[in-house]
Amino acid sequence: MLKNEWKEKGFVDEPIAEGTDLKTEIRRLCKEKDAVILAHYYTVGEIQEVADFIGDSLALAQKAAKTDAKIIVMCGVHFMAETCKILCPEKMVLCPDLNAGCSLADSCKAEDLKKYKEEHPGYKVVSYVNTTADVKALTDIVVTSGNAKKIVDSMPKDEKIIFGPDYNLGSYINSVTGREMLLWNGGCHVHERFSVEGIIRLKKEHPDALVLAHPECKGSVLTLADVVGSTAVILKHCIESDKKEFIIATESGILHEIERQCEGKTFYPVPPEMSEDTIGCSCNECNYMKLNSLSKIYNALKYEWPTVDVPEDIRKEAVKPIERMLELS
C-alpha cells in the first residue's frame, strides 16, 4: 500500500532492512518482474553497475524502443522516463524519484513554445530530447546531442527552423551546419558553469591532454575543446584515442564508465566557475541525476511506483517527432 507521505515526496521512502544486499535484491526483483534497468552515464557508479544497459540519451531511447521487458526502470531524469513511456505505452515505466527533473527541460514551457510558434509561422520546430512530453507534442523532430548535426543536415537547406531549448547546443549546431536557426534561450545549470579559466589552467598543467566537451557547454568552453560531442562520443574518444590524458567538460558521472574502460589513462574533470554555490566543489554534478539511488530503485521495483504516465492525446503527438529521430539515427 502506497503511503500518502511517499506520494508527496515523489519516491518510496521505506527504510531498507539492515544487511540487505541491494544489488542482489534489485537483480532478483528484475528477474521476478521482468524488468530492465536503463541508466544514464551521469548516475552514480553503483547504479551503472547494477543496470542492464547504460548509455547516452539517444542510446537509452533506442534501447527502450526495442526492449521486450514488461517494466522499464529509467535511472536518469524525468524526461528520459517520459520518452520511454511515449515509445512504449503498454509498458510500466518507473522513475525511482519523480523529483529528478532537468533545468534544461524546465527552461521551455509548452505554452511559451506554442506562442513562439504562432509568432513564427512556417518554421519547423527541432527540439532537444531534454524536453517535456508537452513540448515534444509541439515539435516536428526531436534530436539528441548525438544526432543533432546529422538531423539538421538532413533538412532542406532553406528550411526555417526554431531550435530549442538549449541555446549552447543550438549555437554549436548553427556553427557546424551553417544554418541560422532561431534559438530558444534555455540552458543546463551544470554545463553552463564550466570554467574557462579552469580549462586554461588544466591545459597549462597537462599540455598533452585532449579537451572533450559536451555541446551544452557555453561557446567560450567549446572553442577550447578538441572534441565536442555527446556523452557517448566523449567516451568513445577516450577509449580510441592514443592520448593518455583528457580534460573532461561534462557531468562527472561519465568518469565512472570512462575510467572502467580506459585503464592507464588519466582524466581531469573541469571545475565549475567560482560562485557562492560552487565554492569547495571540485567537479560538476547534476543534482537531479544524483537523486537516483539503489534504495530508491529497489523500492520502486518492490512497490511498482513511481510510474510515469503521459496522457494519450499528448503521447500520440509526442511519439511522432521521436520516431522521426529514431528513423534518421
Known binding positions for iminosuccinate: 40, 57, 128-130, 145, 214-216, 231
> Which listed option, ligand 13P, ligand SF4, none, makes contact with residue 145 (CB within 5 to 8 Å by class)?
ligand 13P
Q: How many residues contact ligand 13P, by CB under 6 A?
A: 12
Q: Does 299 bind ligand 13P (CB under 6 A)?
A: no
Question: Mask 34-73, x = binds ligand 13P (CB under 6 A)?
Answer: ----------------------xx----------------
**How would you class 61 by CB atoms within 10 Å of its CB: exposed for 0-12, middle for 13-18, buried for 19 or more?**
buried
We find the least distance from the C-beta atom of residue 252 to ligand 13P, in angstroms, to be 12
In angstroms, the CA 85 to CA 307 distance is 9
C-beta of 28 vs 150, nearer to ligand 13P: 150
We find the least distance from the C-beta atom of residue 210 to ligand SF4, in angstroms, to be 22
Residues 175-234 touching ligand SF4, rule: CB under 6 A, are 188-191, 216
Which residues make Cβ contacts (< 8 Å) with residue 245, sequence separation at least 6? 206, 208, 209, 210, 265, 266, 267, 268
In angstroms, the CA 262 to CA 235 distance is 9
Per the structure block, which three cell numbers stand in for 7?
A: 506520494
Amino acid at 173: I
Annotated binding site for [4Fe-4S] cluster: 102, 188, 286
CA 190 → CA 2, 96, 115, 195, 224, distances in Å?
A: 34, 21, 28, 11, 18
> Which listed option, ligand SF4, ligand 13P, none, makes contact with residue 318 (CB within 5 to 8 Å by class)?
none
Residues 7-26 touching ligand SF4, rule: CB under 6 A, are none
Q: Does 39 bind ligand SF4 (CB under 6 A)?
A: no
Range in contact with ligand 13P (rule: CB under 6 A) among 12-20, 141-149, 269-277, 291-299: 141-149
C-beta of 168 vs 299, nearer to ligand SF4: 168
Q: Does 130 bind ligand SF4 (CB under 6 A)?
A: yes
Work out the angle at residue 65's Cα, subtended by the Cα atoms of residues 62 and 70, and round it to the nearest 5 degrees.
130
Q: Does 216 bind ligand 13P (CB under 6 A)?
A: yes
Q: Which of 12, 73, 102, 228 binds ligand SF4 (CB under 6 A)?
A: 102
Strand segments, DSSP code E, in the chain are: 35-40, 53-55, 71-75, 92-94, 124-128, 141-143, 161-164, 182-183, 210-213, 227-228, 245-249, 266-269
Per the structure block, which three cell numbers stand in for 175?
A: 556553427
CA 311 → CA 52, 133, 318, distances in Å?
A: 28, 9, 10
Range in contact with ligand 13P (rule: CB under 6 A) among 28-36, 144-152, 241-249, 258-266: 144-152
**Contact, 39 vs 53, CB < 8 A?**
yes
Q: Does 289 bind ligand SF4 (CB under 6 A)?
A: yes
> Which listed option, ligand 13P, ligand SF4, none, makes contact with residue 146 (CB within 5 to 8 Å by class)?
ligand 13P
Q: How many residues contact ligand SF4, by CB under 6 A?
A: 14
In angstroms, the CA 107 to CA 87 distance is 23
Q: In what order do the strands lie in the sheet with 210-213?
A: 227-228, 210-213, 245-249, 266-269
Q: 139: how many CB neighbours lie within 10 A of its CB?
A: 27
C-beta of 214 vs 256, nearer to ligand 13P: 214
Based on C-alpha coordinates, what's the Rg of the chain? Answer: 20
Q: Which of 286, 294, 297, 325 binds ligand SF4 (CB under 6 A)?
A: 286
Q: Does 321 bind ligand 13P (CB under 6 A)?
A: no
In angstroms, the CA 99 to CA 9 distance is 8
Q: Does 292 bind ligand SF4 (CB under 6 A)?
A: no
By the criterion CB under 6 A, which residues form the site for ligand SF4?
77, 102-104, 130, 188-191, 216, 251, 286, 288-289
